[in-house]
Each structure stands twice: as structure tokens, then as C-alpha cells.
Structure 1
Amino acid sequence: MRMMTAAALTLAMAALPALADDDDDDDKGFGMAGILSATNSEDLPPILLSAGQPLADAPLELKSGTYYEIEIEADGSQELALMGPEFFRAIWIDEIVIEGLEIRPLGIDSFEFDEAGVMEVGFVAIKPGSYQLYVPQSRGDLQRLDITIK
């Protein structure tokens, strides 16, 4: 019995170099997959925080599972915040970049610009639905951005 096991093991070991000589099936020239893929990311039009001005030109329509980057710019005309707790819970935030400082938060409710500045947010849209980003205590539709995740 030991002799048969040793013989089988010897045959298997002898076959390994022959298998290794075949074309390398591991390298098919594929790049990164999923959310890391360049084909699965998109830059969104910027959001502008300015007193009495619309946040964006049009509502945003996002696709669940896609990685997005968006710039949020405040012109300094007024101290303004941007809220959207429901939206921020429907996405996974990869990073927030402010003047070269990269922040990787577990979550966010809102943020506020006390003066002019720019921040970039990278995120993955996750939960389908209709959401809003808005300037708190503002009236009307100008300072509200409707976002749909499909």
C-alpha cells in the first residue's frame, strides 16, 4: 500500500513540470476589476457653494456600484454648509481631499465652508433611491441638488 502511494506521488510530482511548461493561464492581460477599474469611474460636474446661487446646473443621476469624484467649491461669499445625511448614508466615501490632505471618514452628515476653498470627494454610489444635498435653512430649489442612484 505504501509502495502504491509513493508511486502515485512520484507520478504526480513528475507531471508538475509538464503542467508548468504550458502557456501561463494566469496572465490574460486583464487589468483591475470592479470599482477599481478605470471604466467604472466617473467625474461629476462640480458643486458651487455661493450665496443665492444654484448648487449645480442639473440634477445628478448616479449608477449603483460606480466610483465617482466630485469637486465642491465655495466662493467665500458667505459661510455655507452642505447637508445630505440620507445621501451620505447611501454612498461609501473613499476619501475627501482638502488642500492635499486626504481624509478617509467612516461617515459624514454635512460639512461647512467658513471661507473660499475646494474639496474633492471620491465615493461609490451604493443604495438606489432619491436623495438631496442642500444648504441648510435655505429656501427654494436654488440651493438644493437632487440626486438619484439607480
Structure 2
Amino acid sequence: MAAGLAIACAGAWDSRPASARGDLATRAQRLEPLIMGSTEDDFTLSQREYRLETGRYYRWRIASAGRREYNLVAPEFWRNVWIRQVAVGKTEIKTGILEELDFDDVGEVEVFFVPVRTGNFTFRVRGLEERGMTGNLIVE
């Protein structure tokens, strides 16, 4: 039985080198902040597109500047990144996956992560998509 398992595993071995473009030995690259809302318009996003590379370590500040509640969701994206931590003020949250970031008021979080799969992923503010609160995370 053990020999059969060893043979099955050996056949699945891929000797090609990993193809991640980033360098995890460096500090996190800061992305342009995503700011939801403003004092002039509750339905704005400061950024609508981000271009990322697999294997690169990123730091993304996400903030609410408006006067309403914002629920930022990006389920496909969060399932395809390795999340190192989420920082809220001086509190660091260690988690493997995010479902959504819920802002009840003005505030901010920083998410430290590494994309592990390429693709075009949508982020959106739940319930406000028709008001233009959507964007794309393009991972190459």
C-alpha cells in the first residue's frame, strides 16, 4: 500500500520551477488606497482597477470616508490570495480568508496579502453596484 502511494505521488511530481513573479523576501508593496465615498459624494471609489502579480507581497489600505455603511466584498479574489494579516489600528488579525469588510462609519483597515492565482477578480460594495461602486483586481 505504501509503495503504491509513493509511486502515485512520484508520478504527480512536477520538476518545473515555480513561476511566481514577486519576491517575498522584500517588504510589502503598497497599493494605492481604496477609499469608499467622500465628503462630496457617498458613491465614489478612489480606485477602480488594480494590477497585481502572483507571488508579490502587497499592503492594501481600504477606507471609508463617507457617511454611509459600506460592505466591500471580493469573494473570488480573497479565495485566491494568501492573507498574512488584517490590521485595524494597532490590532493585527491573523486569518486565512476574508468574506467582506464592513464599515459602519469612517474608518480604515490594511490587508497584507500575496496573490497565488492569476485572473480578473471583481470587488464591489454590496448593494451599491448600480451606483458604480465596483472595480477589478487583475492578477498576472
Q: Same fold (TM over 0.5)?
A: yes
Residue 44 of structure 1 is matched in structure 2 by: 31
Q: What is the letter of the counterpart of residue 52 of structure 2?
A: L
| Aligned residue among 50, 54, 68 for 2:45 | 54
Contact between 1:76 and 1:117, CA under 8 Å: does it hold in 2?
no
- Corresponding residue pairs, total: 115
**Deviation of 1:138 (Å):** 1.6
For 2:138 and 2:131, the matched residues in 1 are separated by 16
Find the aligned partners of 2:129 and 2:113 in 1 and give their Cα distance. Answer: 28
Answering whether residue 24 of structure 2 is matched by residue 35 of structure 1, we say yes
Q: In the alignment, which of 53, 57, 73 is matched to residue 63 of structure 2? A: 73
1:50-92 Cα distance to aligned partner (Å, 9 max, x none): 1211241x41110000000010111141011100100001111
Flag structure 2 segments of 5+ consecutive residues without an equivalent.
1-22
| Deviating 4+ runs (over 2 angstroms) | 139-142
Partner of 2:90: 100
Tell me the CA shift for residue 109 of structure 1: 1.2
State the TM-score, normalized to the length of structure 2.
Answer: 0.76
* Distance across 2 between alignment mates of 1:37 and 1:71: 18
Matches within 5 A, 1:119-130: 119-130=109-120
TM-score, scaled to structure 1: 0.71
Larger radius of gyration: 1
Q: Is the CA contact 2:43–2:131 (under 8 Å) kept in the aligned structure 1?
A: no
Cα shift at 1:140: 3.8
